[in-house]
A and B are shown apart, each in its own frame.
Chain A
Amino acid sequence: MDDLEKHIESISRAVDEWLQPDNKDLKEAIDRTVDEGLFAFHDIQHQIRHLKQTVHLKSLSAWAGRAGLTHTSCSNRRVLCLHAGNLPLVGFQDLISVLMYGATYLGKLSRKDPWLLQSFLKIAENRGLSGMGKWSTKLNNLEGETADAFIFAGSEQTVPEVTETLEELKLIKSQIPSLIRTAHFSIAWITDNSPETMMNLSEAVFRYGGNGCRSAAMVVAPFNLKSQVCSFTDYVDTFWLRNPQHEKPLPKLFHRYAYNKSKGLPQAWLNDFLIEQNSEIPDEKFVLKWVKGGEKEIKDIISSAGEKLQSVYRSDGARLELAGRVTEPLSSAQTPPIWWKPDNTDTIRWLIDHVR
């Protein structure tokens, strides 16, 4: 077994230990997260269960192979991850990327998700995993921990502000590599209205209250919304019975509904969500866009959405290449493999190319 294999195995073991059912630290982190109202229990459960099924030695090794990772010799390089907190453990993949690459992890944990990732970090540290730097929910606590690269979800417009803050805290020097994630929604392309498709669609849209760039905020279907709304809302209700929406929309969503109604736009008001039939790029939380169409409409949306678009899912699972995108199965929207590429960039590959 070479150094890389040993390194991956040690990460895999740390993950295994963390995800053990008798891990009191994880249980406490989950309880605390739920008690503080940060996420719903069922959403955390979904994420943990998914990680348990997909993060193991085999998948991590496969990821290393896909990314072209051949050795781990960058322990002197430090990578700062500014984690988002819109989904439970949304920063887990970035953390694993940095550890796999062999760099030192510096983490700004989100105050919206402060406990879950920390429970893994503690285990990794206790196991003496290499690359465990420093982490905190406060950037100030990381002051002086100069990084050689940073990763964050934001937009090109926010880069100067973020960079300035990081420079002020001496966390970075100017002009270091940064990986910025700008995608904020995905599209579900359904070709039928079978129960399986509708259940997968409900999961893809409503899991995490629609938060997260992998959540489908747009449906392209061969049917009008009006023809499907009754049966679809039955599936949505069933989903919500098991997974009540944790975060509620702001009252302004009702104003949007009222405005749509005044314009005669086909729509469905679900109290905690609004479905509206139009092809504008999603711009507001808790709104699902419904577009009647097929391949042409998908191509148009891909073209106008640009970097705002994360993934395109197909209900029949077919892998099609469309306008530079490869479709993914709808059923995998909320259960991506560990090597999935946010913003079409493999994070390990990016580290190999930019952090030497």
Chain B
Amino acid sequence: MNIDEIFDSAIPFQNRTAAVLDFQLERNPLYKRFAEVFGINHAEVIPAEIPLLPIRVFREHDMLVTGKKPEITFKSSGTGSMTSSRHLITDTALYKKAIEQEFYRHFSKKDFSILAYTPGYSDNPESSLVWMLSHLIDQDDSGLSRFLTLGKPIEKSELEEITEKGKSVLLFGAAFGLLDLIELGSAALPPGSAVIETGGMKTYRREITRVELRQHIEEGFRIPPEHIHSEYGMCELMSQFYAIGGEWFSKPHWVHISVRKEDNPSELCQPGEEGKIAVIDLANVYSCPFILTEDLGVMDEKGQFRVLGRWNKNNMRGCNFLIDRD
């Protein structure tokens, strides 16, 4: 298939999806066996009916279509005793394209310089987040974008260096890392700056809500709430999502997002109804684009979605969790 077509918004999404599905059925034996159980053996289905592999497939298998070799491998950081996910990337050019197209749709390349702060990720050399940020930093011809030194506050002079060159600061960091920066006594961000937070709310200190996090960032860096954005991404996906000035994420045009019922992943939730976030990411063409995540989410009428956290698995058998709720 012509990979460039994935990013060609002139082609209807359904057609692009059909081509990717055909490719997967031909070149991904694991997905083919999965889809066949649902009676899918050709590409004439609408996206919402395409069977979705549980995301744990990336923990249990090397997902790569036949005939391809990985250029790099991304690994999730993993939590507790959980095995890390592995995403074999066979085409970094495709990954770069997915990163750039969506990022620069929201944040102008010429206007911003990135200051990245990723404690917890930096010690994972196979982190997709660090790779993505490195790539975005490399794209800044001014040379002002960079990773911040861990454990050190942002100095006013560092910010002035950017603003003096006529650019705005874009602080991109893991949620708990941003809180660390504030606690370390970082300088207030200059007017026109923006913050992108990513990653979980669970820290080594305590768990906070997204509302609390946004408040801390607003007060700590003294920037208006509409300049505080979120990124949703994971090592299993080539594409990322941004929530601009709030908590509702939009999607790139080569991605289909839906929310599925926990007890029946084939069934779509209504807008406002919570369920598992399902992703068709055509940029995952060489691994698996049809994925059911373990993230709890909700969609609105406009097709934007919110991430509410991890799905809390309370489906234990036996006597557990059986106390009625009044």
Contacts and interface: CB of A to CB of B under 8 A. Distances in A.
A212 interface: yes
B51 interface: yes
A152 interface: yes
A258 B34 contact: yes
A284 B317 CA distance: 6
Contact of B322 (A86, A251, A252): A86
Contacts of B262: 252
B324 A285 contact: no
B263 interface: yes
B319 A86 contact: yes
B30 interface: yes
A202 to B, nearest CB: 17
B293 to A, nearest CB: 14
A84 B319 contact: yes
B316 A283 contact: yes
A183 B318 contact: yes
B53 interface: yes
B31 interface: yes
A257 B266 CA distance: 14
B264 A153 contact: no
A110 B319 contact: no
Interface in B274-326: 313, 315-324, 326
Interface string A57-85: 00000000000000000000000001011
A133 interface: no
Contacts of A137: 324
A252 B320 CA distance: 20
B272 interface: no
A158 B317 contact: no
A310 B318 contact: yes
A147 to B, nearest CB: 15
Given A263-B60, A285-B315, A84 B322 contact: yes
B319 A153 contact: yes
Contacts, number: 108
Contact of A252 (B265, B317, B321): B265
A184 B33 contact: no
Given A84-B319, A154-B320, A183-B319, A259 B263 contact: no
A258 B322 CA distance: 28
A213 B319 contact: yes
B61 A263 contact: yes
Interface in B50-67: 51, 53-54, 57, 60-61
Contacts of A108: 323-324
B37 A258 contact: yes
B131 interface: no
B38 interface: yes
A155 interface: yes
Contact of B37 (A140, A162, A250, A261): A261
Contact of A262 (B31, B264, B318): B31
9 contacts: A85-B324, A158-B323, A162-B323, A183-B318, A183-B319, A217-B317, A250-B263, A263-B60, A283-B313
Interface of B: 30-31, 33-34, 37-38, 51, 53-54, 57, 60-61, 262-267, 313, 315-324, 326
Interface of A: 82, 84-86, 90, 108, 110-112, 137-140, 152-155, 158, 162, 181-185, 210-213, 215, 217, 250-252, 254-255, 257-259, 261-264, 282-285, 287, 310
